[in-house]
Each structure stands twice: as structure tokens, then as C-alpha cells.
Amino acid sequence: AQRVTQPEKLLSVFKGAPVELKCNYSYSGSPELFWYVQYSRQRLQLLLRHISRESIKGFTADLNKGETSFHLKKPFAQEEDSAMYYCALPAGSGSARQLTFGSGTQLTVLP
């Protein structure tokens, strides 16, 4: 079964420090992975998807099929990056439009 694991429930870093939010997955086939973010009192929104290979708000994520990981990285964290981050992947080949979400990592960037 498809599974997403985010091992860190809470992560705190200081402003200007690098940050890495971990995501590991189990999936048969070539996955399409996403990172969603939820800022305080805001709705969940897409941060980035690996198929786009883009950088949003300074964040990047590389799909590592060997390690089955899709870690989210930013070289210099900002206070406005404090939020809940969810990694997600398709729920199955027969229902490709569903997403399975990880349990989330609450990132706090300290001043």
C-alpha cells in the first residue's frame, strides 16, 4: 500500500539556518509527489510538486528513488516559513486522483 512517512512532528530552526523536512514514501511505480503547506489560520495550499521541478519561496525538493525520499529543503529559513508541512503522493494506480498525506511536520522558525 502507498504510504507517506514524515518522521518529525515538530521541527525548530533559527532564522537564516538551513532547513530540511523529511518525507519518505512507499509506492509501486513512479510516484508523483507533492508538498502542501498550511500557514496559521490559512487553508492548505500546494507548495510544490516534483514533476514541475520548481522552486517556490526558496524551497526545493528532489525525488530520490533509491532512498524513496522527497525531502523539502531551504538554505536560509525565514520566520514566515513557520507552518505545517505535508508530503503527499497518489493513493494508488487505479485512483490516481486521490492523495495520501503524511502526518505533517510543524516547522517553527525562531528569530
Partner 1 sequence: NAGVTQTPKFRVLKTGQSMTLLCAQDMNHEYMYWYRQDPGMGLRLIHYSVGEGTTAKGEVPDGYNVSRLKKQNFLLGLESAAPSQTSVYFCASSNFAGVVSRQFFGPGTRLTVL
Residues that bind partner 1 (CB under 8 A): 6, 9, 32, 34, 42-46, 49, 86, 90-91, 96-104
Q: Which is nearer to partner 1, 12 or 45 (CB)?
A: 45
How many helices (H) and strands (E) in the chain?
A: 0, 11
Q: Which is nearer to partner 1, 60 or 101 (CB)?
A: 101
Q: Which is nearer to partner 1, 20 or 32 (CB)?
A: 32
Shortest spacing between CB 26 and partner 1, in angstroms:
15
C-alpha to C-alpha distances, 109 to 66, 86, 89, 92, nearest whole angstrom: 30, 17, 26, 34
End-to-end CA distance of the chain: 41
Shortest spacing between CB 111 and partner 1, in angstroms:
26
Burial 36-59 (b: 16+ CB within 10 A, else e): bbbeeeeeeeebbbbeeeeeeeeb
Shortest spacing between CB 83 and partner 1, in angstroms:
14
Shortest spacing between CB 90 and partner 1, in angstroms:
5
